[in-house]
């Protein structure tokens, strides 16, 4: 269920409010282009600046719009275990297929703290969990030992790895049977070479069919052909990561391509005009602009 091309969906805003009409259009765009799963209200979905009510409404709207066509992996993580449990219970109640659970951020738990946090969620709510290990965002991350312990829990089924460390990924792959998903678009193929089964992708917001073409080849075991897609996508992926903090560049790209509004919420700011010029050249080089 949790392999292939999965989009880390942006949350569109208009005049400070969630733009649900555009959200529906973005979901239709993803479904029309064959995406394998939709992941709302993660980092790319600006979950830190959504109220709890908005967070729940976005999850509910996505599930309703998807209509069971592909799995919905709802962002339900928090640095408060009780809050993560509440969001996970809500996600199950309204029909999510799984939840994405990020490393508890800011409070920098010990490895035992990571383990007990995720274990509590897994034991409290019977719903598949995709762990999200992203130490660069959270100030701390899990060791392979902790991930392997968590893999023993029945409903922890996958991990989105955004550590950027191939040895780390390799150790997890050799020591447990969690499905490993890339959390960095530019590392999807390298991670696949050591056992990865797909990506939760930012760039899929604008080129879902291309990301899926690459992951389909990965799942077929044809890494040589997949490398052609990796080479095509690489510059686009790196630009969307290097120009500014995600999701600033992807929202700028979506506005340029008339897919959705650029609007973000503070403390996130729009992409600088000088960098937009660079982004437009990247989009032209890729073939997305005339």
Tokens of 138: 């959270």
**pLDDT of res. 247:** 97
115: pLDDT confidence band, cut at 50, 70 and 90?
A: very high
pLDDT of residue 1: 76
Rounded mean pLDDT, 128-133: 98
Given 56, 132, 197, 212, the catalytic residue: 132
pLDDT at 138 over 90: no
Instruction: Band the pLDDT of 114: cuts 50, 70, 90.
Output: very high
Mean pLDDT within 169-173: 98
Does residue 132 have an active-site annotation?
yes
Tell me what the mean pLDDT of segment 148-152 comes to: 98
Q: Which residues contact 239 (CB under 8 A, 6 or more apart)?
A: 249, 278, 279, 282
What gap in Å lies between CA 80 and CA 86, rounded to an integer? 10
* Active-site residue, selected from the candidate residues 160, 212, 251, 276: 160
| Per-chain mean pLDDT for the chain | 97
Quote the pLDDT of residue 241. 84
- pLDDT for res 167: 97
Fold designation for 4-220:
TIM Barrel (3.20.20)
- 202-234 residue pLDDT tens: 999 999 999 999 999 999 999 999 999 999 999
* Mean pLDDT, rounded, for 186-193: 98
């Amino acid at each position: 269920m949790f392999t292939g091309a999965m989009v880390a969906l942006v949350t569109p805003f208009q005049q400070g409010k969630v733009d649900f009409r555009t959200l529906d259009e973005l979901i239709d765009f993803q479904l029309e282009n064959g995406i394998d799963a939709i992941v709302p209200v993660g980092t790319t979905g600006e979950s830190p600046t959504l109220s709890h009510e908005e967070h729940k409404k976005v999850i509910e709207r996505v599930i309703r719009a998807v209509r069971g066509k592909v799995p919905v992996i709802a962002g339900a993580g928090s640095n408060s275990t009780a809050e993560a449990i509440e969001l996970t219970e809500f996600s199950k109640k309204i029909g999510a297929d799984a939840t994405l659970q990020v490393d508890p951020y800011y409070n920098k738990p010990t490895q035992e703290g990571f383990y007990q946090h995720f274990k509590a969620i897994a034991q409290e709510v019977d719903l598949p969990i995709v762990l999200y290990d992203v130490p660069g965002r959270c100030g701390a991350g899990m060791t392979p030992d902790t991930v392997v312990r968590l893999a023993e829990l029945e409903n922890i089924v996958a991990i989105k790895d955004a550590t950027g460390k191939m040895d780390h990924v390799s150790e997890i792959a050799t020591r447990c049977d969690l499905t490993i998903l890339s959390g960095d678009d530019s590392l999807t193929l390298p991670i696949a070479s050591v056992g990865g089964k797909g990506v939760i992708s930012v760039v899929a917001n604008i080129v879902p069919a291309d990301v899926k073409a690459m992951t389909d080849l990965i799942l077929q075991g044809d890494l040589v052909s997949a490398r052609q897609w990796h080479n095509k996508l690489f510059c686009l992926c790196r630009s969307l990561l290097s120009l500014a903090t995600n999701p600033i560049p992807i929202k700028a790209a979506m506005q340029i391509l008339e897919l959705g509004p650029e609007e973000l919420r503070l403390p996130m700011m729009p992409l600088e005009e000088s960098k937009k010029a660079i982004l437009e050249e990247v989009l032209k080089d890729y073939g997305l602009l005339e």
